[in-house]
Amino acid sequence: MIMEEKTEKLSYKDLLNDVKKHRKLYYKVLSVTFVISAFLMLSIPNYYKCTVMLAPELSSMGLRSSSTLSSLVSSLGINLGGTGSSADAILPTLYPDLMNSVTFRASLFPVKVQRENEDSVMTYYDYLKDGQRLPWWSQAMRATIGAVFSIFAPDKTQESDKVNTFKLTKEQTAVMKILDKKVSCDVDVRTMVIIINVIDQDPLICATMADSVQSKLQTFITDYRTSKARVDLEYNKKLYAEAKDKYEKARRKYAAFSDANQKVFLERIRSEQTELQTELSIRQSAYTQIANQLQMAEAKVQQETPAFTTLQPATVPVKKAGPRRARTCLFFLFLAFLGTTVYVFRKEGHLAPLFGLSGDEGDKCHIQS
């Protein structure tokens, strides 16, 4: 048996001749690809991006504040134990999780927004629900799905406009999903800088929502961190009011009794006056102690209130962030050129030899006996 291996060598000139030979095919394919890709990309509306950067208060700041608070407590003769060593339990890395909560997202629905070059004002919820420009294929799909659902569910009840975060309606859930794609929050773990990104089709609404998200996030975090301190403050205010009322009653009672019995020297009267004076001293001591606790509770609220430094404020973007139409069209043209080239080389029988194989499977190896 004699085995003969057929090989075929190709040069760049041969491949270039294949391309030139089918240049009309390239013209047709690339032209059609350009028209289709341009039509699709022009159907996608422009969108803008606004970025806000915040530097929050770190745990070390809370430790220094706690040390100052401990010094003030010691000067009043009150021992709060481990106050000076307490640290911030809500780290900046948890802020994105707080912002992604349903409660926070729902708080953005009532924000008033206005399109650029328009006078009408609407809520952000209505804008996300009815004011979004969609590509034609998305509009056609939505219309088709709406028509199908209207056939099978003609007696659809009117959904409430009130937002109940415990039980969202289907419409509110859909708007919430749109909101998830438009508003995002990240934290640089190295610098602990909060980065808020808002993407929208209108530049003015984009900047408006970025500023609103920043403000609401600061308020949300402040309320979250100071919730326990504010509860303690309200409780101390209640104790202070009760202690003050008891002290005032004891003081008035002692003063009235003393004025009415100035020239009386009976032992019974003196004993009763001593009892009233002792009760007044107790009420006064309790009132003074609770007043000090109230001051400490107020200081605690101030201590737990975080401080934020705006590194980059919200500004109306001038240039659009996307879509990148030219780059996308070039990418599709490249794919069309690559696919056409593979078709041409295969048609000319040069595809297999290009990879070190023969053009025909039957010519790989001829066996003669």
Predicted confidence at residue 65, as pLDDT, reads: 44
pLDDT, the chain, mean:
80
Answering whether pTM is above 0.75, one says: no
State the pLDDT at residue 108: 93
Give the confidence band of 9 by pLDDT, cuts at 50, 70, 90.
low
Determine the pLDDT at residue 33.
93
pLDDT computed for residue 2 by the predictor: 39
Quick: pLDDT tens for 114-146.
998 888 899 999 999 988 888 877 777 766 766
296 compared with 88, residue with greater pLDDT: 296
Q: How far is CA 335 from CA 23, 42, 339, in A?
A: 16, 19, 6
pLDDT tier, 221 (very low <50, low <70, confident <90, very high otherwise) = confident
Q: For a pLDDT cut of 70, what percent of the chain falls above it?
A: 77
pLDDT at site 201: 92
**Pairwise pLDDT comparison (73 vs 42), residue with the higher score:** 42
More confidently predicted of 66 and 271: 271
Residue 53: is its pLDDT beyond 70?
yes
| pLDDT tens per residue, range 177-202 | 999 999 999 998 888 899 999 999 99
Pairing type for strands 48-56 and 193-200 reads antiparallel
Residues 6+ apart with CB under 8 A from 350: 10, 14, 15, 18, 359
Output the CA–CA distances (angstroms, integers) from residue 157 to 160, 162, 175, in the order listed. 9, 15, 18
- SS3 per residue for the chain: CEEECCCCCCCHHHHHHHHHHCHHHHHHHHHHHHHHHHHHHHHCCCEEEEEEEEEECCHHHHHHHHHHHHHHHHHCCCCCCHHHHCCCCCCHHHHHHHHCCHHHHHHCCCCEEECCCCCCEEEHHHHHHHCCCCCHHHHHHHHHHHHHHHHHCCCCCCCCCCCCCCCCCHHHHHHHHHHHHHEEEEEECCCCEEEEEEEECCHHHHHHHHHHHHHHHHHHHHHHHHHHHHHHHHHHHHHHHHHHHHHHHHHHHHHHHHHHCCCCCCHHHHHHHHHHHHHHHHHHHHHHHHHHHHHHHHHHHHHHCCCEEEEECCCCCCCCCECCHHHHHHHHHHHHHHHHHHHHHHHCCCHHHHCCCCCCHHHCCEEEC
Mean predicted confidence (pLDDT) in 28-47: 92
Q: Which two three-digit tokens encode residue 97?
A: 């999780």
- The answer, yes or no, to whether residue 85 has pLDDT greater than 50, is no
- The pLDDT score that the predictor gives to residue 160 is 56
- Give the pLDDT confidence score for residue 360 in this predicted structure: 46
State the pLDDT confidence band at 272, using cuts at 50, 70 and 90.
confident
CA distances from 193 to 60, 249, 311 (A): 15, 54, 9
Q: Are 337 and 26 in contact (CB under 8 A)?
A: yes
Q: Which residue has the higher pLDDT, 157 or 366?
A: 157
Q: Which of 223-227, 238-242, 309-313 has the lowest mean pLDDT?
A: 223-227
- Provide the pLDDT for residue 34: 93
pLDDT of residue 153: 55
Mean pLDDT of 248-261: 85
